[in-house]
Amino acid sequence: MPFDPAVVRASFAVVERRADQLTRFFYAHLFTHNPGFQALFPERLAEQRDRFFAALTQLVLRLDEPGRLAGYLAALGRDHRKFRVGPEHFPAVGASLIAALRHFSGHSWTAAIEKAWQEAYTELSDAMIAAARAVPADAPRWWDAEVVDRRRAAADLVVLTLAPGHPYPFTAGQYLTACSARRPQVWRPYSIACAPRPDNTLELHVRRVPDGLLSTALVNDVLPGERLRIGPPLGDAVLDPHSDRPLLAVAGGSGWGRIKALVEQLALDGGRPATVYLADRAGGPYDRAAAERLADRHPWLRTVLPAAGGGGAAWLRERLGRHGDCAGHEVHLSGPPGLARALGRQLVGQGADPASIRHDPGADTFNRARPLTPGEWFLDHRDVPWINRTELG
């Protein structure tokens, strides 16, 4: 590593409190000096700016942790294939990043700092480019998938069945990113709500997020016959293929989609004792009938559902408390941001091995209002999901 990570981190701290202004300058500089680049980005850039700054923060914080940094860079490099990003784009991005950092650093910017940033950016971008090149040449950047069925499961939630144009290899428990022509270049992550099927179809459970660009379109507007673009499968919150331990799974809200996929995979593998706790908002689980059908079909599966009209976080905590000793279980948690941390602590207190608990990556601040002032950015760090956050450790 030719540069000093401490120099990069110290200079980043100078501009961190002006994140919103810095990212505005960065994109303005990038688009002004590189005609055509803007077509690679969403029309509304506010959240894109947040995602860019979140990714930049993760990189800066891990400059002297090569093991964790390598995984993050590799995932970023592979993921950027679906954005049509190639090696030719990286020098322009680096030039605009340096220009933005220099502009907002003021008199604290020095030639030594600029050299450190240039060396750091070169090393990071080379790692991303290498990861993208390591993907087999015949591996798709994305899949075009037709919406073949659309079922409204709740006022704010739809179940979509997709038929990719060619085989889509994945493992139950993974997720994908999706994009619609209704919202060009807006990609969002969704759990794959089924185990692999012989007909190659996929199921997504999409809940509308307040002010969500893509989720609103998918829930309100997208119809059978339309096509979505889906990225490669991501995530490692899958079943342990070597385990015969009983499964304890907890699903909150649309997190049921991932747990449903795991149960279907257990059935394909021959089954083993499994208990699923399923909760949602005050109205109760949106897919209760499907959960009950699975339990009726498989004697090794026990589903615990709230009474009609109830079953939120408090109900989950109370029922899990009644579950008793969780030692020796393989535990999977799936649901709203914060659920895994809160229930994970409880289950560890009930004897679960922390190493046996698997859950979706997520961030608490994803749906919160954006900080507006420099002080808010400095005090309220946004942890915005970018790509496969399991690579962060």
Output the domain CATH number for residue 254. 3.40.50.80
Instruction: Read off φ and ψ for residue 242, nearest 5 degrees.
Output: -105, 5
Do 120 and 150 have their domain in common? no
Do 147 and 95 have their domain in common? no
The model's pLDDT over 65-74, given as tens digits with 9 standing for 90+, comes to 888 888 889 9
Q: Which two structure tokens, joined as six digits, stand for 331?
A: 């535990």
Do 12 and 131 have their domain in common? yes
Percent of the chain with pLDDT over 90: 65
Instruction: Read off φ and ψ for residue 380, nearest 5 degrees.
Output: -120, 80
pLDDT of residue 264: 97
pLDDT of residue 348: 94
User: For residue 308, what are the domain limits?
Assistant: 247-359
Across 162-166, 177-181, 343-347, 372-376, least confident range: 372-376
Across 180-184, 211-215, 219-223, 357-361, least confident range: 357-361
Instruction: Map residue 367 onto helix, strand or coil.
Output: coil
**Tokens 């309220």 identify what position?**
380
pLDDT of residue 293: 94
Q: How many domains does the chain have?
A: 3
Q: Is the pLDDT assigned to residue 386 strictly greater than 80?
A: no
**Tokens 């085989």 identify what position?**
167
pLDDT of residue 17: 86
Q: pTM, whole model, 2 decimals?
A: 0.83
Query: Over the chain, what is the mean pLDDT?
Result: 88
Mean pLDDT value across residues 178-193: 92
pLDDT of residue 3: 82
The CA-to-CA distance between both ends of the chain, in Å, stands at 22
The Cα–Cα gap between 52 and 272 comes to: 43
Confidence of residue 43 (pLDDT cuts 50, 70, 90): confident
Q: Is the pLDDT assigned to residue 209 strictly greater than 70?
A: yes
Do 43 and 121 have their domain in common? yes
Q: Which two structure tokens, joined as six digits, stand for 320?
A: 């899990």
pLDDT of residue 366: 43
- CATH number of the domain bearing residue 214: 2.40.30.10
What is Dmax (Cα atoms) for the chain? 70
Q: Is the pLDDT assigned to residue 309 strictly greater than 70?
A: no
Percent of the chain with pLDDT over 70: 90
pLDDT of residue 390: 41
Do 46 and 129 have their domain in common? yes
Do 275 and 321 have their domain in common? yes
Do 151 and 129 have their domain in common? no
Top pLDDT among 312 and 282 is at 312
Do 254 and 315 have their domain in common? yes
